[in-house]
């Protein structure tokens, strides 16, 4: 115990910043898809249920059931993918991330409560939609509680748990607001740095013009991804012969995709304009170069996807159009993530101690982690293949 390798702040990075950056980008793309679905699906459930009820559209009410039942999965995978993204980002830029989290400490902790409320209520709604929710706990409850639960269950499925769906939507939106606030704060060394006032743990950068713009940008993107997944499901059902439900679902998904993307055409530049002038210039085609190409091609791909999705409900075989839209959206999302990372790097360039960028790559453990990831992908693939028939049946039912 006499010799200690390095002081804490200088403990080497587990891989080069470039490698970690690529890794973070891949994780962030996957996380953004899951988080977008978790945020958008409760809102789309409420919309489908309300419109379905008002216009007596059975297809939309059926879609509401499906979306409610799928939300817990999106929520769980948001956490499962969010934590490794958190690990990577905090490893790369701990000097900025930890102080930023501490400056908004109580809000940061409240994020955990919102996450629990969101995941819990989405599971409850999902089980209620299956008509199976409270019996789960029956073996563990005293008789009086059990009798209440039985009475509760007898109310039937005409009460689809919209209050809890709204709670899930509110919780996930609140969590997103906090995470976007954290992202904005972390890029503001003047707010978290040593010269900033001592933290009381309640700092939210409300006066930063980026906050509202990034939040709007994220929410529109989330709705679009939720819409795309819904349109995909509609196309899938259509090809399985469920014409009425498939068309209705595709239209619903197409609206939720195309309208937010059209709004993004304004929200994107609005966000970009809030970046500091020098940085915006560099990103839009200056020395940083690739940032500008990314921005233009990403925006074009998203607009192309919106056009194709808008067409898809009107054609006889919409699946190829949905596929191309999905690829365009994935490309757009990936380049937007890459641009965001470039912006973060540029904004934090002066705040990170270069001495903290030493690297000590543990080859063996990196290989073990890679082996676990490959084995995990294989296990996921096998499970999905083994259960593919049953999931097709349950979607139809």
Partner 1 sequence: MVFPVLEVPFLGGELLMAAISLVFVVSAFFAVGGGTFQVLLERRAEREGDGALLSFLQDWSRFFLLMTLVVGMASWAGLWMTATIVSPHATWALLKIFYWPFMAISALFVVQSAAAFLYHSTWGSVEPAKHLAIGWIFAGSAWLSLLAINGVLTFMLTPGDWLVTGRLRDAVFNPTFLPSAIMLISGAAGVTGLICLVAGAGQENAALRSGMVKASAAFVLPGFILLPASAFWHIENLPSVMRNAVLSEGGLATTLVVVSLSLCLVVLLLGAAGPFRNPKSPSRATALLMLLLGLGAVSSLEWSRGVIRSPYVVTGYMYLNGIDPRNVGNLRQEGFLRKARYASIRGVGVDPVGAGRELFRLQCMSCHSVDGYNSIRRSVRGWSRDVLDTQLEKLDKLRGRMPPFAGTGAERRALASWLLSLSSPGREKAGGK
**Chain residues 111-140 in contact with partner 1, contact rule CB under 8 A:** 111-112, 115-116, 119-120, 123, 127, 132, 135-140
Q: Which one, 239 or 394, has the nearer CB to partner 1?
A: 394
**CB-CB contact of 216 with 267 (8 Å):** yes
Size of the site for partner 1 (CB under 8 A): 81
Q: Which one, 106 or 296, has the nearer CB to partner 1?
A: 106
Q: Which one, 102 or 240, has the nearer CB to partner 1?
A: 102
287 belongs to the binding site for partner 1 (CB under 8 A): no
Task: Report in angstroms how near the CB of residue 206 gets to partner 1 at its nearest.
Answer: 20
Read off the DSSP letter of residue 353: -
- Contacts of 346 by beta carbon, 8 Å cutoff, 6+ apart: 279, 282, 283, 288
- Contacts of 226 by beta carbon, 8 Å cutoff, 6+ apart: 36, 37, 39, 40, 41, 43, 44, 256
Q: Which one, 19 or 284, has the nearer CB to partner 1?
A: 19
Cα dist from 381 to 55, 75, 387, whole Å: 40, 20, 10
Dihedral sign computed on CA atoms, order 124, 127, 129, 131: negative
Can you tell me whether residue 359 is helix, strand or coil? strand
Binding-residue pattern over the window 157 to 196 for partner 1, x denoting contact by CB under 8 A: -------------------------------------x--
Q: Which one, 251 or 344, has the nearer CB to partner 1?
A: 344
Alpha-carbon distance of 233 to 319, in angstroms, equals 10
Q: Which one, 112 or 320, has the nearer CB to partner 1?
A: 112
Task: Report in angstroms how near the CB of residue 316 gets to partner 1 at its nearest.
Answer: 31
Query: What part of residues 75-114 is at the interface with partner 1 (CB under 8 A)?
Result: 76-77, 79-84, 86-88, 90-91, 94-95, 98-99, 101-103, 105-106, 108-109, 111-112
Task: Report in angstroms how near the CB of residue 274 gets to partner 1 at its nearest.
Answer: 27
**CB-CB contact of 336 with 363 (8 Å):** no
Task: Report in angstroms how near the CB of residue 332 gets to partner 1 at its nearest.
Answer: 24
Query: What part of residues 3-22 is at the interface with partner 1 (CB under 8 A)?
Result: 3-9, 11-15
Query: What part of residues 352-391 is at the interface with partner 1 (CB under 8 A)?
Result: 360, 362, 364-366, 368-369, 372-373, 376, 379-380, 383-384, 386-387, 389-391
Alpha-carbon distance of 364 to 72, in angstroms, equals 36
Q: Which of 131, 329, 318, 130 is nearest to 233 (CA)?
A: 318
- Contacts of 178 by beta carbon, 8 Å cutoff, 6+ apart: 104, 107, 108, 110, 111, 114
Task: Report in angstroms how near the CB of residue 108 gets to partner 1 at its nearest.
Answer: 6
């Amino acid at each position: 115990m006499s010799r200690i390798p390095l002081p804490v702040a200088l403990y080497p990075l587990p891989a080069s910043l470039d490698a970690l950056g690529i890794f973070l980008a891949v994780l962030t793309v996957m996380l953004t898809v899951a988080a977008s679905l978790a945020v958008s699906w409760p809102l789309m459930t409420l919309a489908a249920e309300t419109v379905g009820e008002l216009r007596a559209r059975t297809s939309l009410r059926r879609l509401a059931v499906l979306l409610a039942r799928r939300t817990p999965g999106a929520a769980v995978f948001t956490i499962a993918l969010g934590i490794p993204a958190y690990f990577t980002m905090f490893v790369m830029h701990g000097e900025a991330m930890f102080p930023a989290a501490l400056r908004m400490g109580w809000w940061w902790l409240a994020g955990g409560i919102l996450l629990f409320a969101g995941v819990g209520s989405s599971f409850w709604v999902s089980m209620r939609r299956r008509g199976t929710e409270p019996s789960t706990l029956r073996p563990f409850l005293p008789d009086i509680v059990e009798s209440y639960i039985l009475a509760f269950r007898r109310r039937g499925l005409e009460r689809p748990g919209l209050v809890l769906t709204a709670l899930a939507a509110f919780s996930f939106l609140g969590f997103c607001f906090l995470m976007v606030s954290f992202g904005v704060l972390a890029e503001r060394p003047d707010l978290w740095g040593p010269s900033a006032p001592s933290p009381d743990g309640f700092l939210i950068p409300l006066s930063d013009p980026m906050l509202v713009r990034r939040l709007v940008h994220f929410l529109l993107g989330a709705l679009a991804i939720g819409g795309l997944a819904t349109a995909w499901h509609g196309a899938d059902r259509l090809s399985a012969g469920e014409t009425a439900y498939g068309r209705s679902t595709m239209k619903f998904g197409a609206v939720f995709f195309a309208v937010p993307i059209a709004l993004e055409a304004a929200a994107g530049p609005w966000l970009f304009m809030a970046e500091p002038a020098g940085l915006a210039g560099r990103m839009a085609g200056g020395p940083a170069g690739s940032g500008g190409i990314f921005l233009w091609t990403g925006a074009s791909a998203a607009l192309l996807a919106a056009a194709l999705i808008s067409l898809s409900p009107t054609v006889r075989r919409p699946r190829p159009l949905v596929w191309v839209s999905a690829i365009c959206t994935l490309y757009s999302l990936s380049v937007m993530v890459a641009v965001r990372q470039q912006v973060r790097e540029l904004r934090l360039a002066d705040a990170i101690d270069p001495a903290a960028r030493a690297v000590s790559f543990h080859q063996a453990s990196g290989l073990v982690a890679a082996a676990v990831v490959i084995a995990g992908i294989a296990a996921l693939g096998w499970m999905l293949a083994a259960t593919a028939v049953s999931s097709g049946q349950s979607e139809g039912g």
